[in-house]
Amino acid sequence: MSIRDDQLLQDTSRLRVGLIGDPVAHSFSPHMQQAAFNALKIEASYELWHTPAQELVERVRSLCEKDCLGANVTIPHKQAVLPLLDKVDPLTARMGAVNTIVHRDNYLHGYNTDAPGLLNALHEHGLGELQADGKISLRGYTVVLLGAGGAARSAAFATTEAGIERLIILNRHLERAQLLAEEVHQYYDKPAFSLSDPSFLISHPASIIINATPVGMHGDVSPLPADILARFDQDTFVYDMIYNPSQTYLLCQARTMGLRTANGFSMLLHQGALSFSWWTNQPAPLEVMRAALMR
């Protein structure tokens, strides 16, 4: 038996995992995760657990039930769940945001799969190198991070941990970017800059521009003015964490300039695949999950 807790399979007919958040109805995760459980013939259901803030403690406590493998956590609870868990993995604790809870040996463990999910996505798009220890190295790259919220935090910690040459954080509110740069500096000894005015951006060779703001979800707006984008070298890669719409204004502009681009679909897929592996202790059926997302 390869699933993590084979005892659970013997004791119950159906296991449960769910998405904790408010709202949750829009999520693509049930499709992708249910397809993965079905493909591996694991008797489990992925459910939507709409959870207002006042019900969070009770919801997290319910994950200790015998038939529960764990949960995904989304807005606005990624930070708030941390003190409710028994163990949090060190990189996740640094990021201060949990998106995956695993019920293992009667304890609740917290992980962040957004960060490694982003690295796996970038690697799938041809960036970085897979090392002998299974980690992805982004040595030689400069990351220009647009945003300093939750998703940007994952990107900042993931990419600096992956060995980038420098991090430039551009955010509407400068203080938030400064704070993130300071936090990253505690573990990262290369340059980490913060800006609020994009006109101060300088192009570095091998840049990866990552949009971690919601700007572009609605209408023809971009988090980076076209004249600033035009300064970047032709080897620049532009990654937009937004996946709906699949082609944001930023990506369209970048493509028009001949730059390589990708949307956040790949990050969504890889973070989900990593969560699946944490719950089941099995490799995720990546192509099944990808196909389910595209349906």
Instruction: Determine contact, residues 24/75, Cβ cutoff 8 Å.
Output: no
Q: Tell me the residue type at 178.
A: Q
Q: Tell me the residue type at 3.
A: I
For the purposes of burial, counting CB atoms within 10 Å of the CB of 99, is it exposed (0-12), middle (13-18) or buried (19 or more)? buried
Q: At closest approach, how far in Å is the CB of 268 from ligand NAP? A: 4
Looking at beta carbons only, is 66 or 172 nearer to ligand NAP? 172
Instruction: Determine contact, residues 108/102, Cβ cutoff 8 Å.
Output: yes
Q: At closest approach, how far in Å is the CB of 235 from ligand NAP? A: 23
78 is catalytic: yes
Looking at beta carbons only, is 15 or 210 nearer to ligand NAP? 210
Distance between CA 124 and CA 105 in Å, rounded? Answer: 34
Instruction: Determine contact, residues 268/243, Cβ cutoff 8 Å.
Output: yes
Residue from the set 14, 61, 172, 255 that interacts with ligand NAP by CB under 6 A? 172
Closest C-alpha to 79, from 95, 63, 64: 95
Residue from the set 176, 262, 276, 289 that interacts with ligand NAP by CB under 6 A? 176
- Candidate ranges 56-64, 104-112, 214-222, 278-286; the one touching ligand NAP (CB under 6 A): 214-222
Radius of gyration of the chain (CA): 19
Per CB under 6 A, 73 contacts ligand NAP: no
| Residue 175, H or E segment | helix 174-185
- Report the site for ligand NAP in 89-128 (rule: CB under 6 A): 114
- Candidate ranges 31-39, 45-53, 130-138, 239-247; the one touching ligand NAP (CB under 6 A): 239-247
Among 41, 66, 78, 190, which one carries the catalytic annotation?
78
Looking at beta carbons only, is 3 or 113 nearer to ligand NAP? 113
Task: Output DSSP code: residue 173.
Answer: S
Residues 58, 59, 65: CA angle, nearest 5 degrees: 95
Residue from the set 63, 267, 274, 284 that interacts with ligand NAP by CB under 6 A? 267
Residue from the set 151, 228, 229, 273 that interacts with ligand NAP by CB under 6 A? 151
Distance between CA 152 and CA 118 in Å, rounded? Answer: 11
Residues 269, 161, 165: CA angle, nearest 5 degrees: 110
Distance between CA 186 and CA 188 in Å, rounded? Answer: 6
Per CB under 6 A, 268 contacts ligand NAP: yes
Asked whether the bond before 23 is cis by omega within 30 degrees of 0, the reply is yes
Q: At closest approach, how far in Å is the CB of 239 from ligand NAP? A: 9
Residue from the set 28, 31, 149, 166 that interacts with ligand NAP by CB under 6 A? 149
Residue from the set 116, 128, 147, 285 that interacts with ligand NAP by CB under 6 A? 147
Per CB under 6 A, 271 contacts ligand NAP: yes
What residues line the site for ligand NAP (CB under 6 A)? 75, 114, 147-152, 171-173, 176, 212-215, 217, 223, 241-243, 264, 267-268, 271
Which amino acids are annotated catalytic?
A: 78
